[in-house]
Amino acid sequence: MGNESCLFCRIVAGTIPAEFVHQDERCLVIRDINPQAPMHMLVIPREHLESLDDAAQKDEPLLGHLLRVGARVANDEGHGESGYRTVINTGAGAGQSVFHLHVHVLAGRALNWPPG
Ligand code: 5GP
Ligand code: ZN
Protein backbone atom coordinates (compact mmCIF):
# COMPACT_ATOMS: atom_id res chain seq x y z
CA MET A 1 0.00 0.00 0.00
CA GLY A 2 2.93 2.33 0.72
CA ASN A 3 4.25 5.20 -1.34
CA GLU A 4 7.36 3.93 -3.18
CA SER A 5 8.94 7.37 -3.32
CA CYS A 6 8.67 7.77 0.46
CA LEU A 7 11.67 6.65 2.51
CA PHE A 8 9.64 5.72 5.59
CA CYS A 9 7.01 3.84 3.53
CA ARG A 10 9.90 1.83 2.14
CA ILE A 11 11.21 1.13 5.65
CA VAL A 12 7.67 0.10 6.71
CA ALA A 13 7.46 -2.20 3.66
CA GLY A 14 10.88 -3.70 4.48
CA THR A 15 12.50 -2.67 1.18
CA ILE A 16 15.03 -0.50 3.05
CA PRO A 17 16.62 -2.29 6.01
CA ALA A 18 16.31 -0.88 9.52
CA GLU A 19 16.67 -2.21 13.05
CA PHE A 20 13.19 -2.32 14.57
CA VAL A 21 13.12 -1.49 18.26
CA HIS A 22 9.35 -1.98 18.41
CA GLN A 23 6.67 -3.02 15.93
CA ASP A 24 2.92 -3.26 16.21
CA GLU A 25 -0.07 -3.11 13.90
CA ARG A 26 -0.05 0.70 13.73
CA CYS A 27 3.58 1.79 13.98
CA LEU A 28 7.22 0.85 14.21
CA VAL A 29 10.20 2.33 16.04
CA ILE A 30 13.71 2.57 14.61
CA ARG A 31 16.95 4.25 15.69
CA ASP A 32 17.69 7.48 13.84
CA ILE A 33 20.53 7.03 11.33
CA ASN A 34 22.03 10.38 12.43
CA PRO A 35 21.38 10.46 16.19
CA GLN A 36 21.19 13.86 17.90
CA ALA A 37 21.37 12.36 21.40
CA PRO A 38 22.63 9.06 22.91
CA MET A 39 19.10 7.73 22.40
CA HIS A 40 17.33 8.98 19.27
CA MET A 41 14.36 6.93 18.09
CA LEU A 42 11.78 7.55 15.40
CA VAL A 43 8.20 6.39 15.94
CA ILE A 44 6.75 5.91 12.46
CA PRO A 45 3.09 5.13 11.66
CA ARG A 46 2.61 2.39 9.07
CA GLU A 47 0.09 4.60 7.33
CA HIS A 48 1.51 7.41 5.17
CA LEU A 49 0.57 10.83 6.50
CA GLU A 50 2.73 13.61 5.14
CA SER A 51 2.95 15.55 8.39
CA LEU A 52 1.03 16.46 11.51
CA ASP A 53 -0.70 19.01 9.31
CA ASP A 54 -2.11 16.14 7.29
CA ALA A 55 -3.70 14.45 10.31
CA ALA A 56 -7.48 14.52 10.62
CA GLN A 57 -9.85 13.87 13.49
CA LYS A 58 -9.93 10.18 12.56
CA ASP A 59 -6.16 10.06 13.19
CA GLU A 60 -6.39 11.20 16.81
CA PRO A 61 -6.17 7.65 18.25
CA LEU A 62 -3.11 6.99 16.05
CA LEU A 63 -1.40 10.19 17.23
CA GLY A 64 -2.01 9.24 20.84
CA HIS A 65 -0.64 5.75 20.17
CA LEU A 66 2.57 7.14 18.63
CA LEU A 67 3.20 9.29 21.71
CA ARG A 68 2.50 6.44 24.12
CA VAL A 69 4.80 4.09 22.20
CA GLY A 70 7.51 6.77 22.31
CA ALA A 71 7.10 7.01 26.09
CA ARG A 72 7.28 3.23 26.46
CA VAL A 73 10.42 2.95 24.35
CA ALA A 74 12.13 5.77 26.31
CA ASN A 75 11.28 3.96 29.54
CA ASP A 76 12.42 0.60 28.18
CA GLU A 77 15.78 2.21 27.31
CA GLY A 78 16.11 3.49 30.89
CA HIS A 79 15.28 7.16 30.39
CA GLY A 80 11.98 7.30 32.25
CA GLU A 81 13.41 9.01 35.33
CA SER A 82 16.03 11.29 33.76
CA GLY A 83 13.59 12.42 31.08
CA TYR A 84 13.23 12.38 27.34
CA ARG A 85 11.90 14.65 24.64
CA THR A 86 9.32 13.90 21.95
CA VAL A 87 9.40 16.14 18.88
CA ILE A 88 7.37 16.35 15.68
CA ASN A 89 8.87 18.65 13.06
CA THR A 90 6.13 19.93 10.76
CA GLY A 91 7.20 21.59 7.51
CA ALA A 92 10.65 22.26 6.06
CA GLY A 93 10.92 25.53 8.00
CA ALA A 94 10.61 23.57 11.24
CA GLY A 95 13.23 21.02 10.19
CA GLN A 96 11.09 18.30 8.62
CA SER A 97 13.12 16.48 5.99
CA VAL A 98 11.15 13.23 5.58
CA PHE A 99 7.53 13.93 4.65
CA HIS A 100 6.01 10.91 6.37
CA LEU A 101 4.81 11.81 9.86
CA HIS A 102 7.12 10.63 12.64
CA VAL A 103 7.83 11.35 16.28
CA HIS A 104 11.43 11.83 17.41
CA VAL A 105 12.24 10.54 20.90
CA LEU A 106 15.53 11.87 22.29
CA ALA A 107 17.28 11.20 25.61
CA GLY A 108 20.60 10.56 27.31
CA ARG A 109 21.98 14.10 27.48
CA ALA A 110 20.86 17.50 28.76
CA LEU A 111 18.33 18.85 26.28
CA ASN A 112 18.27 22.62 26.02
CA TRP A 113 15.19 24.76 25.93
CA PRO A 114 14.21 26.51 23.73
CA PRO A 115 15.28 24.11 20.96
CA GLY A 116 17.22 25.54 18.04
P1 5GP B 1 12.83 15.11 10.16
O2 5GP B 1 14.02 15.95 9.75
O3 5GP B 1 11.92 14.88 8.96
O4 5GP B 1 12.10 15.61 11.37
O5 5GP B 1 13.41 13.72 10.61
C6 5GP B 1 13.86 12.75 9.70
C7 5GP B 1 14.87 11.91 10.43
O8 5GP B 1 15.06 10.73 9.70
C9 5GP B 1 16.24 12.58 10.58
O10 5GP B 1 16.55 12.70 11.96
C11 5GP B 1 17.17 11.64 9.84
O12 5GP B 1 18.43 11.52 10.48
C13 5GP B 1 16.41 10.33 9.83
N14 5GP B 1 16.68 9.46 8.70
C15 5GP B 1 16.79 9.83 7.40
N16 5GP B 1 17.00 8.75 6.62
C17 5GP B 1 17.03 7.67 7.46
C18 5GP B 1 17.22 6.27 7.22
O19 5GP B 1 17.40 5.77 6.11
N20 5GP B 1 17.20 5.46 8.33
C21 5GP B 1 16.98 5.95 9.59
N22 5GP B 1 16.98 5.08 10.60
N23 5GP B 1 16.81 7.27 9.83
C24 5GP B 1 16.82 8.12 8.78
ZN1 ZN C 1 5.36 7.37 3.61
Question: Is 69 among the domain residues?
Answer: yes
Which ligand ends up closest to the CA of 97?
1
Provide the 3-class DSSP secondary structure of residue 104.
Answer: strand
- Are 53 and 90 in contact by the 8 Å Cβ rule? The answer is yes
Q: Which atom of ligand 1 lies at the shortest distance from residue 89's CA?
A: 4
Which of 98, 101, 104 most suits a substitution to test ligand 1, by most atoms within 8 Å of the C-beta? 98
Confidence of residue 1 (pLDDT cuts 50, 70, 90): low
Question: Is 114 among the domain residues?
Answer: no
CA torsion sign, 44 to 45 to 49 to 53?
Answer: negative
**18 CB within 6 A, ligand 1:** yes
Q: Residue 54's domain spans which residues?
A: 7-107
Total number of domains in the chain: 1
Give the CATH number, domain containing residue 96: 3.30.428.10
Question: Is 57 among the domain residues?
Answer: yes
- How far apart are the C-alpha atoms of 106 and 98, rounded to whole Å? 17
**98 CB within 6 A, ligand 1:** yes
Confidence of residue 7 (pLDDT cuts 50, 70, 90): very high
* Catalytic position from the list 79, 100, 102, 104: 102
Question: Is 15 among the domain residues?
Answer: yes
Mean pLDDT of the chain: 96
**97 CB within 6 A, ligand 1:** yes
